[in-house]
Structure 1
Amino acid sequence: MATPTTITIGHLRSVRFLSASMTLRSHHCLSSLSLGNLRSSSDRLLSSPGLSEVDSSFRLTSCASIDNTLLLEASIKKISSSWHVYKPNRRAFCSVFQPNLTKTRGFLLLNQTANMSTYTIIEKGTLNTKDYRIYFNGPSGLVSPFHDIPLHADTSKTVFNMVVEIPRWTNHKMEICKEEKLNPIKQDIKKEKVRFVKNLFPHHGYIWNYGALPQTWEDPNHTEPETKTKGDSDPIDVCEIGSKIHQRGAVVQVKALGVMCLIDEGETDWKVLAIDVNDPLANVINDVEDIEKHMPGFLKATYEWFRYYKVPDGKPENQFAFNGEAKNKAYALKVIEETHKQWEGLMNKTIDAAGISCENTTVGGSPYKFALEEAKTIVENQPALTPPASLPSDVDQWHYISK
């Protein structure tokens, strides 16, 4: 029997996630039976009597063998003296877990980089009105979709979590609210009315699942060297181009393909082009040139949508950096990393928050971390969910643009 070791619920959830991840399968270090057993074993422990969401840790005193190859304990963390893997699999196993292990108080823990659990939403208020809000629940309670949901969704940090604000073909101008605690999704307001984007013929509403990458921020004090413009003080935007229409508030795992740079009212406004990792085309679309190859016309449609979508409201056409060219995957990854570092500066108080609510419930070491009880009170004080209000009469109207 292995030496008893402290293991958090989060570690078990990360094992459950990793057991189903492409990272493990791509390394061929476990059989499909092993993967299934690994997930079911962690599920059984998570449903153990007396284990609740508020438990910070518990003692694991026995290990279930998995396909005679490794112990569950070893898959949760590489314990310095009590992990067991057959020699043929040892190197592959380490290559998967070693980058994600941190030595802490004499043992190794999985870093919090992966999407460890399914996120759920709590809707409040009345859709199509100013009081509508979407709040998020995570593994241990309420979370901010801006600050608490991890940017990275896999151990290699090549897959990202995307928060869907606006499903494809819808018109509601929804966004993560930076100014309110817990940063709920709410509908943008202009002249005391909720906003709906116009339909540019031949499209209806947004032509992708539109949203944001959590734990990113475009610093308004930072001047982008190549565009000579400053950030727009928002999380970085994402256009998910896959075939599935995702629900508002969904947390979707995507891979970045490229990025466009909109100059919106003089500010840098990056638009990451991404695809759901589970999309049927995800295996063949890996960079920006693959989009045109497998989805001809889509990049042009994206450029034109962003250029003209404000024109029906009487505004001028939007401008772009790089003559509207979509930069490649490598460039997109660089932009994502830069905006993640800018978010870290925001959370560490090295950058002035300037009205942004940085409160969070899970970010380790954050000076803005606050209690779950306070978070619960915020949500409980919101108006109860009621049936949607009527849509504006012109929400389905088409608008024609001379190009």
Structure 2
Amino acid sequence: MYETVVSGKRYTTGYRIYIRQNGQLISPFHDIPLYANKEQMIMNMVVEIPRWTNAKLEIATGEKMNPLKQDVKKGKLRFVRNCFPYKGYIWNYGALPQTWEDPTHVSPDTMAKGDNDPIDVCEIGEQVGYPGQVKQVKILGVMALLDEGETDWKLIAIDVNDPMASVMNDIDDVKTHFPELIRATHHWFKIYKMPDGKPANHFAFDGQCKDKAYAHSVIQETHDAWKRLIEGKIPCKAPTHDIDVTNITVDNSPYKAHVKLHQPLEAKSNHIDEPSRIDGKDNKWYHIKAQL
């Protein structure tokens, strides 16, 4: 249903990955439905960062049609370090469309505001994804990272087409069939910023991973926040956030575009165009001393 359209060169500030459907540009933030099958609670997930890679790609929430881009901080492209024994990201990392962690809302469970992004997903299936891929996933649980005073939810999910999907229905199934993965996920999020001189990250719930039912309640809360945003009930530009809400599918949105949007670029499969080598500090191993 979806294809990627690439603009610019990989590992540059001008690199963008647009999503197109039936020849028309769409927003992966606003136009891809949250549910692939609501009755079966199957969600769509937009892959931003494939497993074992380091470039910190993300949905550009402030740009028209919200393409994927590489994050920039202090003028430099961001890469996640290889914190031994982990190579880059240890799952396919991405986001659920049509969700928004409202930076004006304080969660009563974490006592922290949202981080102004779609809710994050760690997809644990065996297939390595590619940036811009839209996967259908089952939600299994959620972890609450507290990042610089903000709640940064991390959903645990599995691709419905994965060979293990039929036996994975809640967070305890992950602990049974993928032993040590939840502990490794907690450890990864705890230490991944430490090579850059930052302290270890902290978590709500003493770092515990909450179950599927709790995860779905968080998803519904962030989906409701997105609906308020896209329907104009929350301003899209404010001191706490600046979101581009242009879309082509949300009928009750004042920001719906009434003309077809096209990008005059040649489409190519991003998973075939493998990245070139990353050198220097962005590809070396870091040995971090921190408790699991």
TM-score between both structures, scaled by the size of structure 2: 0.92
Mapping for residues 216-295 of structure 1, pairs under 5 Å: 216-295=99-178
Distance in 1, Cα, partners of 2:276 & 2:258: 34
Task: Determine helix, strand or coil for the equivalent of 1:304.
Answer: helix
Deviation at 1:191, TM superposition (A): 1.9
Deviations 1:19-78 (A, max 9, x none): xxxxxxxxxxxxxxxxxxxxxxxxxxxxxxxxxxxxxxxxxxxxxxxxxxxxxxxxxxxx
State the 4+ residue runs in structure 1 displaced beyond 2 angstroms.
379-382, 384-396
CA distance in 1, matches of 2:80, 2:88: 6
The separation in 1 between residues aligned to 2:256 and 2:276, in whole angstroms, is: 35
Structure 2 partner of 1:178: 61
Q: Which amino acid aligns with 1:181?
A: K
Greater RCO (CA < 8 Å, at least 6 residues apart): 2
Matched, 1:147 2:37: no
Shift of 1:155: 4.2
Q: Where does residue 209 of structure 1 map in the other structure?
A: 92
Aligned residue number for residue 351 of structure 1: 234
SS in 2 for 1:153: strand
Contact 1:128 1:391 in 2 (8 A): no
**Corresponding residue for residue 194 of structure 2:** 311
Distance 2:138 2:249 in 1: 24
Residues 368, 157 of structure 1: alpha-carbon distance in 2 compared, 3 angstrom cutoff: farther
Q: Which amino acid aligns with 2:169?
A: N
Specify the alignment match of 2:279 in structure 1: 392
Distance 1:288 1:390 in 2: 36
Of 316, 331, 336 in structure 1, the residue corresponding to residue 214 of structure 2 is: 331
The alpha-carbon deviation at position 320 of structure 1 amounts to: 0.2
Report the AA paired with residue 280 of structure 2.
Answer: S
Kindly tell me: are residues 155 and 303 of structure 1, through their superposed partners in 2, closer, same or farther at Cα, counting changes over 3 Å? closer
Instruction: Give a deviation string over 1:131-186, Cα, whole Å, max 9, x none.
Output: 00000112462100000000000140500000000000000100000110000000
Distance of 1:317 and 1:396 partners within structure 2: 21
Using structure 1 for the length normalisation, give the TM-score.
0.67
Aligned letter for 2:285? W
C-alpha distance in structure 1 between counterparts of 2:90 and 2:274, whole Å = 26
CA, structure 1 residues 347+209, in 2 after alignment: closer, same or farther (shift >3 Å)?
same
1:136 and 1:145 in contact (8 A); partners too: yes
Q: Secondary structure at the match of 2:280?
A: coil
The amino acid of 1:398's aligned partner reads: W
Stretches of structure 1 lacking an aligned partner (at least 5 in a row): 1-117
For the 8 Å contact 1:165–1:210, the answer to whether it is kept is yes
User: What is aligned with 1:31?
Assistant: none
Q: Does 1:380 align with 2:267?
A: no
Residue 164 of structure 2 aligns with an amino acid whose one-letter code is L
SS of 2:35's equivalent in the other structure is: coil
Question: Take 1:156 and 1:381, find their aligned partners in 2: how far apart are those partners?
Answer: 37
Larger mean CA deviation between 185-194 and 250-259 belongs to 185-194
Deviation at 1:381, TM superposition (A): 8.5
Matched, 1:168 2:51: yes
Asked if residue 302 in structure 1 is aligned to residue 189 in structure 2, the reply is no
Aligned length: 282
Cα deviation code 1:328-350 (max 9, x no counterpart): 00000100011000000001111
SS in 2 for 1:163: strand
> SS in structure 1 opposite 2:39?
coil
Aligned-pair Cα RMSD in Å? 1.9
Q: How far did residue 232 of structure 1 move? A: 0.5
The separation in 1 between residues aligned to 2:203 and 2:112, in whole angstroms, is: 11
More strand as a share of residues: 2
CA distance in 1, matches of 2:249, 2:49: 25
1:395, distance to aligned residue in structure 2 (A): 2.8
Give me the whole-angstrom Cα distance separating, in 2, the residues matched to 1:309 and 1:362.
37
**Distance in 2 between the 1:332 and 1:226 partners?**
13
Q: Structure 1 278/388 Cα, relative in aligned 2: closer, same or farther at 3 Å?
A: closer
State whether residues 6 and 265 of structure 2, in contact with CA within 8 Å, keep that contact through their aligned partners in structure 1: no
Contact in 2 for aligned 1:142/1:372 (Cα 8 Å): no
